[in-house]
Structure 1
Amino acid sequence: MNQIKKLPVGDLGYNFIPKEFLPEGENEYYIRFKQNPATDYRPLTRQEIAILKSNGNRSDNWSNILVREGIDVLLIEDCTFFGLVRIGKLEPYFLEFSQLRTPVGLYRSLIVSCDIGNNVVINNVRMLSHYIIDDEAILINVNEMSCTSHSKFGNGIIKDGEPEDIRIWLELCNENGGRKVVPFDGMLPGDAWLWSKYRANEKLLNAFKNFTDQQFGRQRGTYGTVGKRTIIKNTHIIKDAQIGSDAYIKGANKLKNLTINSNETAKSQIGEGCEMVNGIMGAGSRAFYGVKAVRFILAPFSQLKYGARLINSYLGENATISCCEVLNTLLFPAHEQHHNNSFLCASLVMGQSNIAAGATIGSNHNSRAADGELQAGRGFWPGLCVSLKHNSKFASFTMIAKGDYPAELNVPMPFCLISNDVHKDQLVVMPGYWFLYNMYAILRNERKFADRDKRKEKKQLLEYDFLAPDTVNEIFTALDLLYLYTGKAFYQKNQMVGCDKEYSQKGRELLESQAPIIAQLDIFANGIEHSQRPVRIIKALEGYAVYKKMICYYGTCQLIHHLNQSSDKTLAAVKNLFEKAGERKSWLNVGGQLIPEKEVKILINSIESGAVKKGWDEVHDFYQQQAKEYPIEKLLHGLSSLKEIKRMERPDLDAHLLADLFYEAIATREWIAQSVYESKVKDYDNPFRKMIYDTTKEMEQVVGKLKDNPFINEQAEETAAFKKSTELLIEKIKQHS
C-alpha cells in the first residue's frame, strides 16, 4: 500500500534539510540565504497582519512572514503560508506580457517556505514549495510547483546520503550504456564526445566524473529558482527545477528535475503538452507542442517541436528535431530532423546533418544485443525512407539515396552518393557527388548554418566550411582508395596478378593521365559493405578530378585569405609559411570544433596525470585556446595539403608558380559559381517541374525568378570580388619578388 505519513501541520515548511545532513553550526536556510542573500526584510506589523487575515489569508506563524518596505498587503488574498516566507515589494500595478494582463500580487495560492521578489504575480498556484521567485515573475494556474532538499536540477550528481545507483546517466551513442556520461549544466558537445569516445581510458573517465561532482557538490538544501520576468502559466507539475530569467512556460504537463537556462538575450520557452524529465535546456532553447524528453540535454538555441521524443540524447547548438523519435544519440550542432516517421537510435552524428522522412537509422539490429552504433561525419544526409543497420560508419557529407540497406556500411569517401541498385543487387558509390551535381545545396547549407548560429556565448568554435581539415583529410583517404580500386580493376580486366601497392601505383598513373581505359573498367571496392554482393564505384575519374581540384582550392584559398590580412606579402614570407606547414596533420571533430588530434591527446594526458586542476572550466579553456589557434593551424593544414597534392618542394616555389595557383583558384571559384547556377537552373528547365504551371509567369510567381535568386546572385558577386582581390594580390607578390 502507499506509505502516507501523518505529521504535525506545524512542521510543514520546516526541517527542509534533514538534521543529519546539516553542517555543524548551520540551519536549514543556509543555502537558501546564499542563493538570495538579501537582508532588507522586516516582520509584518499588527495592522498588516489584520489586513491579511481580513483578506482570507492564513499562516501557521505570522512572525515567519517577512516583507520589504513598500509592500501593499492588500494585494495578497486567499493565500495560505507555511514556514519562512519572504515577500518583496508589491505595488498596485498590472503586468502585461503577450496580451496577458494580470495584477501584481499573491492570490489563491498555498506558499511554503519561499522567497518572492518585487512586483511578482502568483495567482492560483495550488502548491508552491521551496522556490525563490525573482522580480516581476508571473505564475498563474500551476497545480504543483515544489522542490525537494535533494534536488539536482538535471545534473547527474548524488546528494549526501544517497546511493550511487540513483545517479542519472546519459546513455549516448549506444543502448547498452557502454558510452554513458554524467550530464551537467554547461556540458558542451565536445565534453560529451570526449567522455563517450575514450572508453578504454579508465583514469580519464573517472576524472570526468570527479570534475562533475566537484563542480556541483553533494550538499542538500538548494531551492528551486524562477528568474526575473519569467512567465509560467496553465502548467500542471513543476518539480525540482531551476529556471532562468525571461523564460516562457505555458501549458506544460510535467517538468521535473530540470535546469532551464534563459536570459534576456537568449529566452527559453516550453509550450503546450510538453513532458520533460531529467534534463538540461541551454539558453535560447525551445520545446513546443507535446514534446517528450527524458534524460536529455538541449544545447543553446536548439529546438524540440511537434511531438518529438528525445531520450538519452544530447542535441547540439542551433539544431531542430520535430515530430520524430531520437534515442541514445549524440548530435553535434546544426542537426535537422523534421519528420514524424523518422527514427534515429544509438548514433553519433557530427553536425550539419539532415535526416529525411521515413529514415530509420539503427532500428534494425543484426542481433539481439543492444550494442550496435552508427557514426556519421558532418553533413550526413540520408534520403527518404533510408533504412540503415548498426554498425555503420560514414565519412563527412555522405548522401544516401532512398532504399533499404541490408548490411553494415563503412563508407570512407566524403561528399559521395550511396545508392542501392536492387535490380543488379549491388551497392553503388559515386565519389565527389556533391561537387559534381549538388553545389548549390552544399554552399547554401554552409551559409545557412553560419547564419543560424544564434549563440551569444560561443564556447566552442564551430566549423561550417565544407572544406576544412577534417573533410580534406578524408578526401586524401578517398584518393588513395580510388588509386587502389582503379588499379585493381585494370589488373583484373587484363587478367594480371598484383599486390595492393602495384594496384595503387597503376591506379594513380591511370587517373592522373585521365586514361580513356578507365571508362571501360568495372571498378569495385572492398570493405565498404558487410555482404557478398559487389560494391561498384561509378564516375571514378570525375570524382578523382574534382577531389583534387577542391583540395587545391582549399589550400590556395587559405593562403590567399592569410596574405590579404598580412602586411608581409613577399615571396620569402610565403616560402616560410610552406616550410612551417610541414606534414599534413590528423584532426578530430570535437563536438563540431575541429582540433588537431595531437592537441586532444595532450589534453587527455594532462587530465590523466592530474595536471588539470580546474575541472571542466579548464577543459573549456582548452577549447577557447584551440579556437584562437585555429586560423593559423587551418592555414598550415591547407598549405601542407597543397604541397602534398601538387607534390611541391620548397625550391619549386616562385612568383610564377604562386600566380598559377592563384589563377587556378580563381578558375575554380568561377566554376563553383557556375555550378551553383546550373544546380538551380534545372529546377526551371525540367519539364516535369514546369508542367504544374500553365505559364512561365505563374511559375515565377510561385517559385520566384531565377535571376532574382539571392543566393545565386551573392555567389556571383562574391566570385567577382574574389577574382578582383586575388588578381591584385598576384600583382603585389610579383612586385615584392
Structure 2
Amino acid sequence: GHDCTLFNTGIIDGRKPFGEFSIKVSNENGGRAVIAFPGMNSADAWLQSQYKDDTSLQQNMQILARKAISSFDGRPAIAPFCRLLNCQAIHSSHIGPHARLENILSIKNSVILSSAAAPAILVNGVILEDVILEKQNTVKNHTVLLRVATEENVHMENGARITDCFIGANSTIACGESVSNLLFAFHEQHHNNSFLIATQTGGQCNIAAGATIGSNHNSRAADGELIAGRGFWPGLETDFKHNSRFASFTLVAKSSFDKELDIPLPFSLVSKNSDGRVVIYPAYWYYYNLYALARNTWKFSRRDKRTAKPLLIETDFLGPDSLIEMMEGIRFFKEFLPANIPLMELMKNPDQIKAPKFIEAEGLVYKEKALILNPRKALLAYIRLLIFFCGRTFLSPFPGKSLPAEGWENFGGQFIPAHEAAALRDRIRDGRIRNWEEVHAFYVEQARDYPAYLYALAGHIASFLTGKSELSARERRRLRLLAADVAGELLNGARNSREKDFENLFRKKSYRGRDEMNAVLGTMEQDPFLKSYHESMTQLILALNSNEPYGDGNGET
C-alpha cells in the first residue's frame, strides 16, 4: 500500500492466499475445534465449540465460517501506512493499515487487522503462524502464536507461548503458556511460571504465578476440560484435575487439588485444610473482599478499550450467571430454611435459619465429601444480594412486556436468554441465517433487549424471594427498602475491607510513620474507586428510599 515504510525486510511472499485453519479450543483432542475467520468474536468461537452432537448445526456453522473466509478481502498484502522494520519473513499474510512491525522473525498465514484509531503493534522476535489478530493487538518480546485468534485490545508479550487459543477482548497474556483455551474478555495471565491448558473461562479471570492448570498430566489421554465462570481466580501454585467446574467468582487458595471438583456456589473461597479435605467458604467475597468484588465492576468498565463493541460484555458481578447460581445455592441449603417463611422475611429475623457451622456435602469432590463452612452466612449473603439486585432493577421503568428469562447462556461475555439462544441455533440449523453478519446482528438485538430481560429476571427472583407470582406495589416498595439496607452494607463492606490494608500493624512496619505511608500509598479518601463507589451508592440508596410510588402489581406505571 501507499505511504508504507519498509526497511531491511527479508522475504515477503504473497503467492499463496490466506488459508483456512482450525483452533482446538477447550479440549486438546480437537473435539471442540472451531474454524477461525476474520471478524470472529468470542461469542462466535463459543457457539462453534458447543453442541458438537448437533451435526446439522455444526455443518452450517462451518459453511458460514468458510463463507466469511472467502468473502474477506485478505489477499496477501501490506496495507497503506504500515511500518515494517527488520522483518525476516512474511508469508501468505494480510497486514492491515497503520500496523507497526519491527524485528519480526516470522509471520505465516495470518491476518493482522489494524486501523489508524486502533493500530496493531508487533515487535521484537515474535513468531505467528495461522493467526487472526483483531485491531489494537500488541504482540512483543519473543512471543510465539500458533493457531490463535483474538478480539480487540489483546496484549501478548514477554515470551508467552500461545497455541490453539481464542482470546477475548481487553486481555493480557505475558510469559507463561496457554494451550487449547477459550478465554472470554478481561483475561489476565502475567507470570512466566504458569500454564493454562484445556479450559473455558468466563472472563474477568486472573491466573496467579505458579498456577499449573493442565489436562494431559493427570489423565490417560489429553482430553480433559475445565470450565470456570466469570471471576475465576486460582491462587499461587494451584493445580487442578480435569474435568472440573467452578461457579462465578471462585477464589482458590494455594493448594494441589488431586481430585476433580464441581463448585456450584458463587463467590466462594476454595482451599484445603491440614487433613487434605477440600473446604468451601461460600459467599466469602461478600464478607471479606467486597472492595475487590465491587472494584472489578468499576475497573473493567474503564479498561474496555474496544473501538467497536459487537458484544455487550457484562462486568457487574450481579449478572445472570451469579444471580441464578445464588438461587441454586439457596436451594442447595434448603434443608436449613424454615418452612413456609418467605426468604425475604428472613432479613428481619435471620436467627430462623438453623444451620451448623459446617456441613459435609457429596458430589462436589470426586469420591470425597467437601466441607462447606458457614452455610447460614452464605444463605443470608445470597438472599441479600438477590434483594439488592431486584430493588435496584425495579427503579427502572417497566419495559412493557413479560419475558421468560430464568435460563441464560454466556455468549463470550454477553448473556443471552436460553430461549433466544435456542431460536438462534434453530435459524442456523435450518439455513435461515446466511452469514456471520446476521449472527452478529442477533447479538446487537439481544444487547438492546438486555435491560428488559434483566427486568424479567428480577421479577422471577422477586417471586422466588416472596413466594408470590405477582407482587403488589407495597411488596415492591418493601423490596426497595430492603435493597437500600443491603446497598449500605455493600458500601460499608467495600470501605471496611479496604481499610484493613491501611490499619494492619504489619503493613505499617515498612514505613517510618503514617505520613510516609500516606505519601507512598495515598489515603482511603484519595482512592478513586471508593470515591466513585460512595457517590454512586449514596445516590442509589436515596433513590431506593424515596417515597415515589412504583406502580401496580404488574409493575406497570
- Secondary structure of residue in 2 paired with 1:525: strand
Structure 1 222/541 Cα, relative in aligned 2: closer, same or farther at 3 Å? closer
Letter in 1 for 2:140: F
CA distance in 2, matches of 1:202, 1:694: 68
- Verify: 1:724 aligned to 2:545, yes or no: no
Letter in 2 for 1:335: H
- Verify: 1:180 aligned to 2:37, yes or no: no
Letter in 2 for 1:405: F
CA distance in 2, matches of 1:516, 1:477: 20
- Verify: 1:459 aligned to 2:295, yes or no: no
CA distance in 2, matches of 1:457, 1:319: 16
Q: Could you say which residue in structure 1 is the equivalent of 2:240?
A: 388
CA distance in 2, matches of 1:698, 1:364: 50
Question: Is contact 2:248–2:322 with CA below 8 Å preserved after alignment?
Answer: yes
Deviations 1:372-394 (A, max 9, x none): 00000111111111111100001
Q: CA deviation at 1:215?
A: 2.8
Q: Could you say which residue in structure 1 is the equivalent of 2:11?
A: 144
Letter in 2 for 1:653: S
Q: CA deviation at 1:710?
A: 1.5
Q: Could you say which residue in structure 2 is the equivalent of 1:615?
A: 435
Q: Could you say which residue in structure 1 is the equivalent of 2:463?
A: 643
Deviations 1:531-579 (A, max 9, x none): 33x311111111110100101111111111x13xxxxxxxxxx6x96xx
Q: Could you say which residue in structure 1 is the equivalent of 2:375?
A: 540
Deviations 1:443-494 (A, max 9, x none): 111111111111111111111111121210111111111224x48xxxxxxx
CA distance in 2, matches of 1:319, 1:407: 30
Q: Could you say which residue in structure 1 is the equivalent of 2:472?
A: 653
Structure 1 222/616 Cα, relative in aligned 2: closer, same or farther at 3 Å? closer
CA distance in 1, matches of 2:403, 2:444: 24
Number of residue pairs aligned between Structure 1 and Structure 2: 553
CA distance in 2, matches of 1:530, 1:138: 59
CA distance in 2, matches of 1:271, 1:504: 64
Q: Could you say which residue in structure 2 is the equivalent of 1:527?
A: 363
Q: Report matched runs for 1:122-521 at 5 Å.
A: 134-149=1-16, 151-152=17-18, 155-156=19-20, 168-217=21-70, 223-363=75-215, 365-421=217-273, 423-484=274-335, 486=336, 514-515=350-351, 518=354, 520=356
Question: Is contact 2:42–2:411 with CA below 8 Å preserved after alignment?
Answer: yes
The gaps in structure 1 that reach 5 residues or longer are: 1-133, 157-167, 488-502, 564-573
- Secondary structure of residue in 2 paired with 1:388: coil
Q: CA deviation at 1:658?
A: 3.1
Letter in 2 for 1:375: I
Match of 1:711 among 509, 514, 529: 529
CA distance in 2, matches of 1:446, 1:281: 27
Question: Is contact 2:174–2:192 with CA below 8 Å preserved after alignment?
Answer: yes
CA distance in 2, matches of 1:460, 1:437: 32
Letter in 1 for 2:320: P
Q: Report matched runs for 1:669-688 at 5 Å.
A: 669-688=487-506
Deviations 1:357-386 (A, max 9, x none): 110112564322111000001111111111
TM-score of the two chains, using structure 1 as the length reference? 0.72
CA distance in 2, matches of 1:218, 1:451: 34
Question: Is contact 1:581–1:640 with CA below 8 Å preserved after alignment?
Answer: no
Structure 1 508/459 Cα, relative in aligned 2: closer, same or farther at 3 Å? closer
Higher relative contact order (CA 8 A, sep 6+): 2
- Secondary structure of residue in 1 paired with 2:88: strand
Structure 1 705/542 Cα, relative in aligned 2: closer, same or farther at 3 Å? same
Q: CA deviation at 1:720?
A: 2.0
CA distance in 1, matches of 2:440, 2:95: 24
Percent of aligned pairs sharing the same letter: 32
Q: CA deviation at 1:518?
A: 4.2
Q: CA deviation at 1:724?
A: 3.1
- Verify: 1:634 aligned to 2:454, yes or no: yes
Structure 1 226/557 Cα, relative in aligned 2: closer, same or farther at 3 Å? same
Structure 1 645/289 Cα, relative in aligned 2: closer, same or farther at 3 Å? same
Deviations 1:633-669 (A, max 9, x none): 111111221221122343x513x43332222222211
CA distance in 1, matches of 2:503, 2:342: 38
Match of 1:702 among 504, 513, 520: 520
CA distance in 1, matches of 2:479, 2:343: 22
CA distance in 2, matches of 1:509, 1:283: 48
Over the aligned positions, Cα root-mean-square deviation in angstroms equals: 2.6
Question: Is contact 2:344–2:466 with CA below 8 Å preserved after alignment?
Answer: no
Structure 1 266/368 Cα, relative in aligned 2: closer, same or farther at 3 Å? same
Q: CA deviation at 1:678?
A: 0.5
CA distance in 2, matches of 1:509, 1:629: 28
CA distance in 2, matches of 1:514, 1:723: 22
CA distance in 2, matches of 1:507, 1:404: 41
Structure 1 507/363 Cα, relative in aligned 2: closer, same or farther at 3 Å? farther
Deviations 1:106-150 (A, max 9, x none): xxxxxxxxxxxxxxxxxxxxxxxxxxxx2211111111111123x
- Secondary structure of residue in 1 paired with 2:365: coil
User: Computing the radius of gyration over CA atoms, which structure comes out larger, 1 or 2?
Assistant: 1
Deviations 1:244-294 (A, max 9, x none): 111111111111111000001111100101111110000011101110110
CA distance in 1, matches of 2:125, 2:519: 38
Structure 1 733/478 Cα, relative in aligned 2: closer, same or farther at 3 Å? closer
Q: Report matched runs for 1:542-621 at 5 Å.
A: 542-560=377-395, 562-563=396-397, 581=402, 584-612=405-433, 614-621=434-441
Structure 1 583/597 Cα, relative in aligned 2: closer, same or farther at 3 Å? closer
Q: CA deviation at 1:199?
A: 0.4
Question: Is contact 2:311–2:414 with CA below 8 Å preserved after alignment?
Answer: yes
CA distance in 2, matches of 1:720, 1:218: 52
Structure 1 234/554 Cα, relative in aligned 2: closer, same or farther at 3 Å? same
- Secondary structure of residue in 2 paired with 1:249: strand
Question: Is contact 1:482–1:507 with CA below 8 Å preserved after alignment?
Answer: no
CA distance in 1, matches of 2:404, 2:359: 31
Letter in 2 for 1:607: I
Letter in 2 for 1:250: E
Q: CA deviation at 1:507?
A: 13
CA distance in 2, matches of 1:624, 1:270: 31
Question: Is contact 1:469–1:638 with CA below 8 Å preserved after alignment?
Answer: no
CA distance in 2, matches of 1:725, 1:409: 42
- Secondary structure of residue in 2 paired with 1:284: coil
Question: Is contact 1:582–1:640 with CA below 8 Å preserved after alignment?
Answer: no
Structure 1 673/521 Cα, relative in aligned 2: closer, same or farther at 3 Å? closer
Q: CA deviation at 1:298?
A: 1.9
